[in-house]
Amino acid sequence: MTIPIEALRRQKAATKPVADRRSADDPRAELLELERQGELIVQKIDREAVTVSTKYGREKRIQKAHLWHHKSCGQCGHIPGYSTSIFWVMRKLGYDYHDPSDQTSCTAWNYYASATSNSAAQAAVAVRNFAAAYESGYFPLIHCGTSYGHYKEVREELIRHPELRAQVRDIMAKLGKPLVLPEEIVHYSEWFHALRDEIAAKQVRDMSGIVVTVHPACHYYKLVEGDAIYDPDIYGGQRTAVVTGLAQALGAEVRDYSTWFDCCGFGFRHILVQRDFTRSFATLRKIEVMKEEANPDVVLTHDTGCVTTLDKSQFAARAHERNVGLAVLSEAQFAALAMGAHPYRVCQLHWHSADYRPLLEKLGIDWEKAWAEFQSDLRRLESGEKRYLDWDDVDA
């Protein structure tokens, strides 16, 4: 499939742009103005940063080091190799970070699933986490696509509604914290995109024979869309550049498929209590279409729910002899594998359901040997030799 890039550009050039009423053109400038008025504090980027372009051309800076990792409950809980791969890649590139326990989830899974929360609570949870990052001196990096999207929504609400700012400021005062927001809300996949050349420079496994499809995460680029990274050199600037840019930098072949815009079928409440919908959508509209149109070795995505949905939904579809059976990884795990990470010690692929072993074999990884090494690690834990594995163990 070919994107009619030139036709789209001509059409856009001939159309008068309409202001997006849903979000600020430059939220950073709005925040700085509110800071000047004494309404809030803006945590500034204070280390080396990479400048990238967003959907409508605003420049966004991505701080490289000294980052406060806002973890994802779904990643840490159900696909822990997603989180450990993010940490591992950052360590390998030599950038320092803080992995806090003074962090809650954004609680937005609950907000979107059960509606047993409200905008004031959600804003207070967001600002409490941002205040914890501010107090630590590290700049926040958001692991979850939903947290990233929701925090952008919260930022819009706080910018637009002084009564919400006042309410949150009062609550923060009771917690002994300021009303603080970061200069930019940054998703981890933006960090991977911004540093893709540095990641590729540390690559030890050849990805040139690997065919990839990309599922762009809805809450990354549909919620407050103006903040997502776009690049004229990737999809002609017609789709978000993250994930695809990294996969291409690593030498993989990214193939297109017709339902790229469709969501994965996660549904928030559906994945937990109404999974007939989730399974159907994930397999019929995503996995099968990818297989029929692109026949990839792996689908890469960049959000918690998308990895979970696309990975877990394939098992039941196999019983119905559907055309499924496709490895699902985050691009962080893919990048870690490219940089030589252990598939079990770092990428924790034994938590995945869809068969990833053919992908490993194509990468020249002896997964049986790797699994035996991991079993050896587990025996050290069982024998009491160690209570926990650490970062030195995973690179042993």
Binders of another protein among residues 217 to 256 (CB under 8 A) are 218-219, 222-223, 225
Question: Of the candidates 32, 41, 65, 76, which one interacts with another protein according to CB under 8 A?
Answer: 76
DSSP-derived secondary structure letter, 303: S
44/57 Cα distance (integer angstroms): 21
Task: Note whether 303 binds another protein by CB under 8 A.
Answer: no
Among the listed ranges 49-57, 70-78, 207-215, 247-255, the one in contact with another protein (CB under 8 A) is 70-78
Q: How far is the CB of 99 from another protein (least distance, A)?
A: 5
Among the listed ranges 30-38, 178-186, 250-258, 383-391, the one in contact with another protein (CB under 8 A) is 383-391
Task: Note whether 128 binds another protein by CB under 8 A.
Answer: yes
Of 244, 250, 263, which Cα lies nearest the Cα of 210? 250
Task: Note whether 309 binds another protein by CB under 8 A.
Answer: no
Residues 29-58 binding another protein (CB under 8 A) are: none
Do residues 86 and 96 make contact, with C-beta atoms less than 8 angstroms apart?
no
Amino acid at site 233: D
Q: How many CB atoms lie within 10 A of CB 104?
A: 13
Task: Note whether 261 binds another protein by CB under 8 A.
Answer: yes
Question: Of the candidates 56, 277, 367, 371, which one interacts with another protein according to CB under 8 A?
Answer: 277
Residues 357-376 binding another protein (CB under 8 A) are: 374
Task: Note whether 260 binds another protein by CB under 8 A.
Answer: no
Task: Note whether 75 binds another protein by CB under 8 A.
Answer: yes
Among the listed ranges 3-11, 51-59, 158-166, 202-210, the one in contact with another protein (CB under 8 A) is 158-166
75/79 Cα distance (integer angstroms): 5
179/59 Cα distance (integer angstroms): 25
Residue 69's SS3 state is: strand
Write down the residue that tokens 């035996």 correspond to: 372
Q: How many CB atoms lie within 10 A of CB 351?
A: 14
